[in-house]
Amino acid sequence: MTHEALSVGPMSLVPGSGTLGVRATSTGGLLKVWSANATAMELCLYDERDSNWLSSAVAMRRDENDVWTAESPDLVAGALYTVRATGPTGPTHRFDPVLDLVDPYARGLARTSAGEWRSTVLDDAFDWEGVTKPAIPLDHSVFYEAHVKGLTKLNTDLPEALRGTYAGLGHPATIAYLTGLGITAIELLPIHQSISEQRLIKQGLTNYWGYNTLNFFTPHAEYATRAAQAGGAGDVLREVKTMVKNLHAAGLEVILDVVYNHTAEEGADGPTTSLRGIDNASYYRQTEDGTYIDVTGCGNTVDFSAPAAQQLVLDSLEYWANEVQVDGFRFDLAVTLGRDDGVEYDPEHPLLAAIVANPALAGVKMIAEPWDVGMGGWQVGNFPLGFLEWNDGYRDRTRDFWLTDVGAARAGDSASNGIGSFARRLAGSAHVFTRERGPLASVNFVTAHDGFTMADLTAYNEKHNLGNGEDNRDGTGNNHSFNHGVEGPTDDEGIREARCRAQRNMLGTLMLSAGVPMITAGDEFGRSQRGNNNAYCHDSELTWMAWEHDEWQRGMLEVSRTLARLRRENPALRPVRFGTFGETVPSANQMDWYNKEGLSMSDADWDSPAERTLQYLAASTPEVEEFNRILLVVHGLEEPVTVTLPEHEGVTGYELIWDSSHTEPPLGHPPLPPGSERTVVGTSMQLFRAH
């Protein structure tokens, strides 16, 4: 498919519309809504003291660009309003002139006593007090995926009223924990206003994760303090902005997980709250008979071959990046955003191009979840320059190397894989990402919000999701996990230590690999969800982060902090570019690979499941930082091995700075000369600084 040239800038895809939503005028307010198929629309204004009481209705005028406009002196800050739309009948249309619809561009929302939604006009003035975005370079970035409520709900260091809120996340106690951990950006699960699916409500459950968006501009009110909720949508927004400001003042970035691929209107039998009633045929993918084309698994799919849908995303991104000052976005099921009018993924799709080219979004980190559930939905490595991508191959190879391969070796005296595929991931996944994009296109992760926690990966072979109400059918069965001999908790000290070492190995791999690491909140101390690998519907202590830790968890936390520090101190661990053999590439790595004898790796060394030991020597090629060289020794079998530290030009000694077989960092070890022999404990890693 060929695309028309796209001029980047506000409202470039809906000609003549200006800015959609509500804007103040000298005589009140002006509302603009886009609909190609409506035949009539009206603005409905409701009494501020009784949101069920319709106080006035204003007919909207349509222009040649399908933009409907209404003005009212009452459309000012604090006003409650909806849109009603009339249009044709037919299989692809869902117009109902008596339904009150949310303005897709509403900056605030309120709920009536009857459970209906009202859009709210906001006074969004805010004093940022000179605080600006930290602008952390990607090679220094460490992402931390967390849930606004779950992160602080149990933190007794916070005033009770702030626990589980935006204000709690922006509180000095939370910030001190995050900065002490060494992360640079908090990646928040969705904070756009969401609702629970009808199915979950009937079961008495809730969509805790929030991947069921009602509106792309309004923050989720339930994450605000009760005081802010009582004050209305404006106070909720100010609490969000204060959180962002406080995090920025501490040098921390804020990344939002955004769900543009589908909406909370669900499938054909779902609620009509906004886009469906305004122009179902334009906003959602359908066949001619009105059947929804669902590549999201959530009942509907927003049609991003339509310019208005593309514009909605761009305007939402601009709003959050500029008005709320967030630093980046993680796009849920991002392949959906790049599907053309034939529902095929196109890396040159105009929306993807606009996201990374729009000057209003310059410097904003853009992270794709590079898959959806439609045909051709797995597109890892196939997003355009300017996007980072979640690297699921990295996730699976890391788990395999430290878990399932070890389990296979126990069961059959041989691991399933050699060390070669693991090493490629360690070095930045150059076989996945182009040279132009480099290693920083890869967001490396071992766990995320969906799936096992890192501790559960080491303790469960099977998912335990009965509490989700689907007879354990939900959630993946392909976990790449290994319980080390017992399913679930155990008092066996040998198993407990093996599990802890496996967690340290996975954390070490994550923090010492080329690419951008993402830690899932709680993995830094071994949080468990009791084997539930799809805990999206649990808003409880199962999913909230514990702040009281056992001794082994405190040790894990110190390991996590140490690894973040070592990554920060050693630029050889975080190259910006891929190296080229025989050349010196600025901000890349010069890499050398050795076997356990200290000799260059042979094909057999790479591929043999019986070996699984390597020594990775990486030297930075300085551009903005001092020269640095590290040696990482990796051993993936449970029997100890003796390694000979490699001889390499310019290296006079190796200083041990981390060993995954211990919780405590090594102290007082004199540098070892090249050619020295050293014992490496089974399934462990050792990191040296080379001098």
Catalytic residue set: 332, 369
DSSP character for 401? I
Q: Which of 540, 564, 690, 677 is nearest to 618 (CA)?
A: 690
> Quick one: how many helices (H) and strands (E) in the chain?
16, 24
SS3 of 314-350? HHHHHHHHHHCCCCEEEECCHHHHHECCCCCECCCCH
- Paired tokens of 326: 């967030």
- Using only C-alpha atoms, the chain has a radius of gyration, in whole angstroms, of 27
- Paired tokens of 100: 């009150």
Cα angle: 81, vertex 36, 329; to 5 degrees = 70
- Paired tokens of 629: 């060289």
Bridge partner list, 620: 589
Angle between helix axes 493-512 and 551-569 (nearest 10 degrees) is 20
Per the document, the length of the chain is 691
> For tokens 């998912």, what's the residue?
463
DSSP character for 646? P
Greatest CA separation for the chain? 85
**Integer angstrom CA distances of residue 426 from 145, 399, 504, 507, 673:** 21, 13, 15, 12, 25
Q: Which of 35, 60, 56 is nearest to 44 (CA)?
A: 56
Rounded Cα distance between 408 and 415, Å, is 5
| 578 contacts 585 by C-beta, under 8 angstroms | yes
